[in-house]
Amino acid sequence: MSEDMARERLVVLVVDDAPSSLALLCRMLEDAGYTVLVASDGEMALERLRLVVPDAILLDAMMPGMSGFDTCRLIKADPGLTHIPVIFMTGLSDTDSVLQGFDSGGVDYVVKPVRAPEVLARLHTHTRNARIARLARDAVDIATLGVVLVDTQGRIAWRSPKAIAWLQDLSPHGQIDRLPPSLTPVLTAQSSPDGYFLRGVGEQAYIVKNLGRTGVGETMLLVERQTAASGASSRLAHAALTPREAEVLSWLSKGKTNRDIGDILGLSHRTVNKHLEHIFRKLGVETRSAAAALASAGLDSCVKL
């Protein structure tokens, strides 16, 4: 038994409709130091999971009634179970079957008849990775960060508690099972390293950053809610104003008229107007008062920092 197993017996749920396979797997896993739970079909497996949360699941892909693929989809739909690694056992090794297993939420598969060394090696790897990931996610929960893991099809595999409310605000329908359309560009290779500035349904501002791919084929996103000051500062930073436009905006925030700004900077009235047009467009505002308020909030934020 390994040092990790000696400290704590890991729990594995084995789901298989063949009694002979169940008996073989139970003996093999118990000899390796695992605690084993058994289920003979998908419905029984779901009943077991209402009582106990195992460290891993070995799941037969082809069973009478509810298939292993459908069972896995239901498991992954439960936020309290989604972190459990599911390893499929199947006599089907064709590409379509393998892809179906991954598409339903499985992390790996072994081909029947199973071989003990292979099953144990895969179990050890996936239970270790799942536990490390869960510890990291618990740390994120404590830090109250908005972190989201998204798979290659845009489905949300996991999100921190803070991210749940923020994603609902960013989604026009309040759905959080898939990435909102407004966040799709964040997943592209051309994603801005500074993140994307977005507004929620309630006009709350957010910055969303792509933190890169994880080790399980998912992308990690960081969602940050902006306060009035930090949001203004972020918009100013992303507006890419020219030095002259920044000067014009600075004097505008101090209550100066266009004529005053022209006199101070040695510019014509028409040139000041043209600079203001560019500033309004870059900041996404329509009036002098909105631009001045944004500039004042951004400058206050910079001073506090």
Q: Is 29 contained in some domain? A: yes
Average pLDDT for 154-181: 77
| Tokens describing residue 199 | 């507004």
Residue 8 has pLDDT above 70, yes or no: no
Average pLDDT for 174-189: 73
Asked if residue 13 and residue 68 are part of one domain, the reply reads yes
Asked if residue 160 and residue 84 are part of one domain, the reply reads no
Asked if residue 132 and residue 7 are part of one domain, the reply reads yes
Mean pLDDT of the chain: 79
Comparing 202 with 244, the larger pLDDT belongs to 244
Q: What would the pLDDT profile of 258-283 be if each residue is shown by its tens digit?
A: 888 998 889 998 899 999 998 888 87
Residue 86 has pLDDT above 90, yes or no: yes
DSSP 259-292: HHHHHHHT--HHHHHHHHHHHHHHHT--SHHHHH
| Spatial CA neighbour of 203 closest among 226, 229, 177, 173 | 226
Asked if residue 110 and residue 176 are part of one domain, the reply reads no
Rounded to whole angstroms, the Cα distance separating 112 from 105 reads 20
Range of the domain at 251: 240-304
Comparing 86 with 284, the larger pLDDT belongs to 86
| pLDDT value of position 36 | 93
| pLDDT value of position 301 | 37
pLDDT class of 215 with cuts at 50, 70, 90: low
pLDDT class of 247 with cuts at 50, 70, 90: confident
| pLDDT value of position 133 | 72
Q: Provide, rounded to the nearest whole percent, the portion of the chain with pLDDT above 90.
A: 21
Q: Is 58 contained in some domain? A: yes
Q: Which residues pair with 213 in a beta bridge?
A: 219
Comparing 130 with 13, the larger pLDDT belongs to 13
Asked if residue 117 and residue 62 are part of one domain, the reply reads yes
